[in-house]
C-alpha cells in the first residue's frame, strides 16, 4: 500500500469518527463532513470519499436489520425483530422490510456481516450442500 | 396422549424453525488463489471460509478493513461481489487408517478414483507441536534399508533428517526406498506375530511435483506392495499455491494421528524448496513485507513449526520426518537450505559428482550427519559399522592426496584399496532396500576381509552374490541376527562358517 493511499484511509477514518453521534451515524454530521470535503478538497479526494462511504455503509448496516421476506411481514414482526436485534447487539437496531420472492418462504435478517437465515431457500441450499 | 404428541410436534417445529446465524463478507479482489474480502467481522485466524460454488478458503490475514484469504479450489468461477461465509471451523483433514493406500489432496479428499474415504476423525491442519514434557529422546531405529545410511547416518523414530542435494541426485529415491523398506519390515513383523512389533506407516507429501512424478511414485509403491501402508498427499504443480502451501501441514496432521494413537509414522515432504516458493507467492500477493530472496520474514517459522511436529512422544508413538530440499549447484549456504539444516537433526547430502561417477545412492559421507547418532542403531550395526564413517573419511582424504603422487607406501595403498571396496559395497540399486540383518552380515564380511581378495570392479557383483547366498541359504542365521539385534561370538562363528562357504562357491 502506498503512503498516499494510507494517508487517504487515515483521513477517511477520521472523518468517519466525526460522523458518529452517540455511537450511530448522524445524517447532520455526514452532511457537514461532505460540505467540508467539498470546500477543502484533500489529495486523492476520490479515494477518501470511497473509503468514507464504505465505512459509513458498514456502520449503517450494523444498526439496521434488513428483513428479507417472501410472504407478508407485519409491522409487529418487524418491531419484534428490531427489539430482539437491539437486545442481541446492545445497540439501537431498526428493522427494514425488503421483499425477496426467491426465498420461497420464511425470513432472512441481515445485520451488518451477520445473516440470520430462516428461509426455505436457505434450507434447500443447506440440504443441497450436504447431499 | 395427544398432549404428548403436541409437545413433540412443538419441539420439532422449534428445531425446524431455528434460524441459522452466518457471518458473511464479500469478495473485493481475487488474484492467483488469494482473495481479499470485505466483512467477515467474526472470522478467526486460519478459519475455513466457504466460497460460492463449494470452494474452501483459509483466512490468513486479518486486517482492520479486510481479510486476506487463500482459496483451496477452483477460483475460475469466483468474482468480485460474491458472498463468502465463515464456517466456525479451523481447516481440518480426515485422519486414520482409512487413508492408508489412498492418494488425497490438501483437504484430504481422495483423488485416486477409488471412492470416498470412510474417516471417522478429523485433525486440524495447523497444530502446535508437542511440548517438552511429553517428548522422549530418539532411541529406536528407523531403518531406511540403504546400507550407507543405516550404517553411517542412522535415523531414529521421531527424528527429522533432511535429504538435500541438487536436482536428479536421487533424493526422492532415498525417500521412496525408505517407505518401501518400512512396508517390508511391517510385513515381516506382522507375520511374526510379535506383540511388541510396532509397524511404521508412511505419508508421502508431494509439493509442487509434476503429476507424472506422483503417478510414478504411486506405481513404484504399489509395485513394491508398500502402498497399503502409505498415504500420499498430493499438491502437484497444477494445484494453486495455497494447496501447495498447506499440503505439508495436512500430511503432518495425518501423521500426528498415528503418533497420538500409539503408532509410529514416517512422513516425507517432497520438497520444502517448492513449499517455500509457494508460500513466497502467497505472501507477496497478500502484500506481506518481503525479505531475503523476496521470502517473507516468517519463512523460518514456516518450516520450523512444521518440522517440530515430528517427535517421539512418551507413552505414545512417533512421527519421523524426512524433508527434502533441492539445492542449486550444490549450494548449501542458500537461504532455505541453511534454515532447514538448522531445524533438522541432521542431513543426508547427495552429490552430483558422486552420482555421475556411478556411486548411487550418491551420499556424501563427509557432509552428511545424523545428530541422533548411534543411539538410533541396533548393536549389531554398531559392532560392524562403528568405524566405517571415519575409515571412509580417511579414504577420501587419502584419495585426494594420492591423485597427485604415484609412490605410495603399503599402508596407504591398503587403506585406499579398502576404501574403494567400501564405496563399491555401498552401491545399491533403487527400489531394493536391504533388511538390517543382511546389511550387518555383509558389513561383517567386509570387516573380516572377505572382499579383500576380490577385484574392486567385481565387489558389487560379489556383494550381490553374498546377499543372495544369505537370503536363499542362510535365512535362519539372518533371523537370529534380526531377533538378537547383536552379534555374539556364537553368531560370529556362524557368520564365519557362512562366509567361508560363500567364498568356496565364489571360487567355483
Residue A98 confidence (pLDDT): 92
Average pLDDT, chain B: 92
pLDDT in tens, A31-57: 999 999 889 888 888 889 988 998 898
> Does the predicted interface ipTM exceed a cut of 0.85?
no
Nearest of A81, A60, A87 to residue A69 by alpha carbon: A81
Residue B32 confidence (pLDDT): 81
Whether the CB of A109 is below 8 Å from some CB of chain B: the reply is: yes
Cβ of A113 within 8 Å of Cβ of B24? The answer is: yes
**Beta bridge pairs of residue B234:** B206
Query: Of the given ranges (B247-256, B260-269, B457-466), which has the lowest mean pLDDT?
Result: B457-466
User: CA angle, B119 as apex, B317 and B214 as ends, to 5°?
Assistant: 80
pLDDT of residue B7 exceeding 80, the answer is no
- List A residues 13-42 in contact with B (Cβ-Cβ < 8 A): none
Query: Of the given ranges (B9-13, B246-250, B371-375), which has the lowest mean pLDDT?
Result: B9-13
Whether the CB of B28 is below 8 Å from some CB of chain A: the reply is: no
Cβ of A118 within 8 Å of Cβ of B17? The answer is: yes
Residue B27 confidence (pLDDT): 95
Contacts for B471 with CB less than 8 Å, ≥ 6 apart: B438, B478
Distance CA B48, CA B239 (A): 18
Across residues B484-502, what is the average pLDDT?
93
Residue B414 confidence (pLDDT): 87
Cβ of B24 within 8 Å of Cβ of A54? The answer is: no
Distance CA B249, CA B488 (A): 45
Residue A61 confidence (pLDDT): 87
- List B residues 73-92 in contact with A (Cβ-Cβ < 8 A): 85
Residue A3 confidence (pLDDT): 75
Size of interface A-B (CB pairs under 8 A): 40
Cβ of B40 within 8 Å of Cβ of A112? The answer is: no
Residue B372 confidence (pLDDT): 87
Distance from CA of A27 to the nearest CA of B (A): 23
Choosing from B360, B371, B396, B473, the catalytic residue is: B371
Residue B2 confidence (pLDDT): 65
With contacts defined as CB-CB under 8 Å, which chain A residues touch B23? 113-115
Cell of residue A10, nine digits? 487515515
Cβ of A114 within 8 Å of Cβ of B40? The answer is: no
B292 is catalytic: no
* Helices B489-507 and B459-473, packing angle to 10 deg: 120
Residue B507 confidence (pLDDT): 61
pLDDT of residue B15 exceeding 60, the answer is no
Across residues B197-220, what is the average pLDDT?
96
Among the partner residues A107, A115, A118, nearest to B24 by beta-carbon distance: A115
pLDDT in tens, B76-129: 889 999 999 999 999 999 999 999 999 999 999 999 999 999 999 999 999 999
Residue B278 and residue B246 in contact, taking contact as beta carbons nearer than 8 Å: no
Cβ of A113 within 8 Å of Cβ of B23? The answer is: yes
Cβ of A114 within 8 Å of Cβ of B25? The answer is: no
Regions of chain A short of the pLDDT cut 70? 1, 131
Q: What percent of chain B has pLDDT over 70?
A: 97
Q: Which residue has the cell 426455505?
A: A120
> Residue A25 has what DSSP assignment?
E
Across residues B308-337, what is the average pLDDT?
96
Whether the CB of A83 is below 8 Å from some CB of chain B: the reply is: no
Give the containing element (helix H, strand E) for B207. Answer: strand B200-207
Distance from CA of B16 to the nearest CA of A (A): 9
Distance CA A62, CA B402 (A): 82
Cβ of B42 within 8 Å of Cβ of A114? The answer is: yes
Which of the residues B65, B86, B285, B286 would you substitute to probe the A interface, choosing the one with the greatest number of A C-beta atoms within 10 Å? B65
B276 vs A127, higher pLDDT? B276
Distance CA A8, CA A51 (A): 8
With contacts defined as CB-CB under 8 Å, which chain B residues touch A109? 19
pLDDT of residue B1 exceeding 70, the answer is no
How far CA B293 is from CA of B11, B20, B76, B281, in Å, comes to 62, 47, 30, 12
Across residues B239-260, what is the average pLDDT?
96
Amino acid at each position: 500500500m502506498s503512503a498516499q493511499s494510507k494517508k487517504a484511509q487515515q483521513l477517511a477514518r477520521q472523518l468517519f469518527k466525526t460522523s458518529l453521534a452517540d455511537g450511530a451515524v448522524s445524517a447532520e454530521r455526514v452532511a457537514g463532513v461532505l460540505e467540508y470535503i467539498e470546500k477543502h478538497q484533500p489529495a486523492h479526494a476520490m479515494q477518501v470519499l470511497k473509503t468514507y462511504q464504505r465505512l459509513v455503509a458498514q456502520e449503517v448496516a450494523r444498526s439496521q436489520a434488513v428483513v428479507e421476506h417472501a410472504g407478508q411481514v407485519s409491522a409487529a414482526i418487524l418491531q419484534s425483530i428490531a427489539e430482539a436485534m437491539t437486545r442481541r447487539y446492545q445497540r439501537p437496531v431498526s428493522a427494514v422490510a425488503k421483499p425477496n420472492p426467491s426465498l420461497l418462504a420464511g425470513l432472512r435478517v441481515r445485520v451488518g456481516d451477520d445473516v440470520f437465515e430462516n428461509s426455505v431457500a436457505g434450507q434447500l441450499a443447506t440440504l443441497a450442500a450436504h447431499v | 396422549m395427544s398432549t404428548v404428541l403436541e409437545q413433540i410436534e412443538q419441539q420439532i417445529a422449534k428445531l425446524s424453525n431455528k434460524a441459522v446465524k452466518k457471518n458473511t463478507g464479500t469478495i473485493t479482489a481475487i488474484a492467483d488463489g488469494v482473495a481479499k474480502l470485505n466483512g467477515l467481522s467474526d472470522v478467526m485466524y486460519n478459519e475455513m471460509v466457504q466460497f460460492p460454488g463449494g470452494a474452501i478458503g483459509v483466512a490468513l490475514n486479518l486486517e482492520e478493513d479486510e481479510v486476506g484469504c487463500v482459496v483451496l479450489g477452483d477460483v475460475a468461477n469466483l468474482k468480485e461481489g460474491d458472498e463468502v461465509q465463515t464456517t466456525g471451523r479451523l481447516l481440518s483433514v480426515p485422519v486414520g487408517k482409512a487413508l492408508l493406500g489412498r492418494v488425497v489432496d490438501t483437504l484430504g479428499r481422495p483423488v485416486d478414483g477409488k471412492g470416498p474415504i470412510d474417516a471417522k476423525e478429523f485433525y486440524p491442519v495447523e497444530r502446535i507441536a508437542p511440548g517438552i514434557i511429553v517428548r522422549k529422546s530418539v532411541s529406536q531405529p528407523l531403518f531406511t534399508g540403504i546400507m550407507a545410511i543405516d550404517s553411517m547416518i542412522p535415523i531414529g523414530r521421531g527424528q527429522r533428517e533432511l535429504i538435500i542435494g541438487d536436482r536428479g541426485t536421487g533424493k526422492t529415491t532415498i525417500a521412496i526406498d525408505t517407505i518401501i523398506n518400512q512396508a517390508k519390515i511391517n510385513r515381516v513383523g506382522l507375520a511374526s506375530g510379535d506383540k511388541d512389533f510396532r509397524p511404521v506407516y508412511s505419508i508421502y507429501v508431494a509439493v509442487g511435483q509434476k503429476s507424472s512424478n506422483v503417478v510414478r511414485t504411486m506405481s513404484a509403491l504399489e509395485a513394491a506392495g508398500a502402498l497399503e501402508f502409505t498415504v500420499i498427499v498430493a499438491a502437484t504443480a497444477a494445484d494453486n499455491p495455497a494447496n501447495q502451501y498447506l499440503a505439508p501441514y495436512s500430511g503432518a496432521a495425518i501423521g500426528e494421528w498415528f503418533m497420538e494413537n500409539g503408532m509410529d509414522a514416517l512422513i516425507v515432504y517432497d520438497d520444502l524448496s517448492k513449499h517455500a516458493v509457494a508460500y513466497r507467492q502467497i505472501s507477496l500477493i497478500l502484500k506481506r513485507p518481503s525479505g531475503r530472496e523476496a521470502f517473507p520474514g516468517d519463512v523460518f517459522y514456516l518450516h520450523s513449526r512444521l518440522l517440530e511436529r515430528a517427535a517421539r512422544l512418551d507413552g505414545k508413538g512417533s512421527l519421523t520426518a524426512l524433508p527434502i530440499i533441492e539445492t542449486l549447484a550444490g549450494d548449501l549456504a542458500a537461504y532455505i537450505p541453511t534454515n532447514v539444516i538448522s531445524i533438522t537433526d541432521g542431513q543426508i547430502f547427495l552429490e552430483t559428482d558422486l552420482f555421475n561417477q556411478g556411486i548411487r545412492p550418491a551420499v556424501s559421507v563427509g557432509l552428511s550427519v545424523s545428530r541422533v547418532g548411534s543411539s538410533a542403531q541396533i548393536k549389531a550395526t554398531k559392532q560392524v559399522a562403528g568405524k566405517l564413517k571415519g575409515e571412509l573419511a580417511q579414504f577420501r582424504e587419502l584419495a585426494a592426496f594420492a591423485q597427485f603422487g604415484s609412490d605410495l607406501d603399503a599402508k596407504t595403498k591398503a587403506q585406499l584399496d579398502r576404501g574403494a571396496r567400501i564405496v563399491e559395497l555401498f552401491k545399491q540399486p533403487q527400489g531394493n532396500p536391504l533388511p538390517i540383518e543382511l546389511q550387518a552380515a555383509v558389513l561383517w564380511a567386509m570387516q573380516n576381509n572377505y572382499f579383500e581378495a576380490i577385484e574392486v570392479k567385481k565387489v558389487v557383483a560379489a556383494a550381490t552374490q553374498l546377499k543372495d547366498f544369505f537370503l536363499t541359504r542362510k535365512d535362519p542365521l539372518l533371523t537370529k541376527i534380526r531377533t538378537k539385534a547383536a552379534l555374539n561370538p556364537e553368531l560370529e562363528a556362524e557368520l564365519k562358517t557362512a562366509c567361508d562357504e560363500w567364498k568356496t562357491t565364489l571360487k567355483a
